């Protein structure tokens, strides 16, 4: 009996890295996809220490051909695809909307929204062809449902991810393919720390602003992703699961 196989985009660092390693610890073969070759190779090496079935594949998630090759590589290496977590993304703009230029819009849409479409299309094509069901998780954000200053474009991309997730979920549920999203709150990742390093921002104050009194850990997002891919969440379809330490509830 073959082992389960997962694709994780954005696997070079942050939440994507922790998700890939969590799959490896769970005995799942994992293809780690990212444009960052150094970080991706590092994740691959760590995953192999945990479980032999791990490979890094350089992927530009904003390019349809590159994404198709990502899925093809997973099948070539491991024989099939069972799970996918689309975690690749970039940080948000830091100015009000009228000060954003076309490049800001195009870059955020390409990496945060178009990439999810491209990944879903390639992953679903493989899952439908296999006919064995599966699970896909898209990483969105609490910005999908709450407004924040100077985040109009970023919020729009994440709201788009949530809407795409829900609509695709009802199309593919009859085929045994469950599609869900995770909406992380403030998670302690290199991306967040880079954002908070700008003048006038205080990461310690940000942590204290959370009802739980701290930032989230990338490993906590990984745990949620594994649960959504497991049989323990078999009745969860089209959900946008908030993992935010109570931020939106407070």
Task: Sort 64 into a burial class: Cβ within 10 Å, 0-12 / 13-18 / 19+.
Answer: middle
The C-alpha atoms of residue 113 and residue 146 are separated, in whole angstroms, by 18
Per-residue pLDDT, 199: 58
- 154 flagged as catalytic: yes
**Cβ neighbour number for residue 147 with a 10 Å cutoff:** 8
Of 221, 214, 193, 216, give the one whose Cα is nearest residue 18: 221
Local confidence band at 198 (pLDDT 50, 70, 90 cut-offs): low
DSSP 143: G
The C-alpha atoms of residue 181 and residue 169 are separated, in whole angstroms, by 10
Per-residue pLDDT, 197: 60
In degrees rounded to 5, what are phi and psi of residue 58?
-65, 125
Is pLDDT at 52 greater than 80 in this prediction? no
Per-residue pLDDT, 14: 95
Instruction: Spot the catalytic one: 154, 172, 217, 247.
Output: 154
* pLDDT, tens digit, 9 for 90 and up, residues 95-118: 899 999 999 899 999 999 999 999
* pLDDT, tens digit, 9 for 90 and up, residues 156-179: 999 999 999 999 999 999 999 999
What are the structural domains of the chain?
5-188+217-242 (3.40.50.720)
* pLDDT, tens digit, 9 for 90 and up, residues 138-160: 999 999 999 988 899 999 999 99
Per-residue pLDDT, 224: 98
DSSP 222-247: HHHHHHHHSGGGTT--S-EEEESTTT
């Amino acid at each position: 009996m073959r082992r389960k196989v997962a694709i994780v985009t954005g696997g070079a660092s942050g939440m994507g890295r922790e998700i890939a390693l969590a799959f490896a610890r769970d005995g799942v073969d994992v293809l780690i996809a990212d444009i960052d070759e150094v970080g991706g190779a590092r994740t691959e090496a760590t995953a192999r220490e945990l479980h032999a079935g791990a490979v890094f594949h350089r992927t530009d998630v904003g390019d349809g051909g590159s994404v198709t090759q990502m899925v093809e590589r997973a099948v070539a290496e491991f024989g099939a695809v069972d799970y996918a977590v689309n975690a690749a993304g970039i940080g948000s703009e830091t100015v009000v909307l009228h000060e954003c230029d076309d490049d800001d819009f195009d870059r955020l849409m390409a990496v945060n929204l178009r990439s999810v479409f491209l990944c879903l299309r390639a992953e679903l094509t493989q899952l439908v062809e296999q006919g064995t069901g599966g699970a896909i998780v898209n990483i969105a954000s609490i910005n999908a449902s709450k407004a924040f200053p100077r985040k109009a474009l970023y919020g729009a991309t994440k709201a788009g991810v949530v809407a795409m997730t829900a609509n695709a979920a009802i199309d593919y549920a009859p085929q045994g393919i469950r599609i869900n999203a995770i909406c992380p709150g403030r998670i302690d990742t290199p991306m967040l720390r880079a954002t908070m390093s700008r003048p006038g921002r205080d990461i310690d104050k940000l942590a204290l602003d959370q009802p739980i009194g701290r930032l989230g850990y990338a490993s906590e997002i990984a745990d949620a992703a594994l649960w959504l891919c497991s049989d323990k969440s078999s009745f969860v379809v089209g959900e946008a699961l908030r993992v935010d330490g109570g931020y939106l509830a407070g």
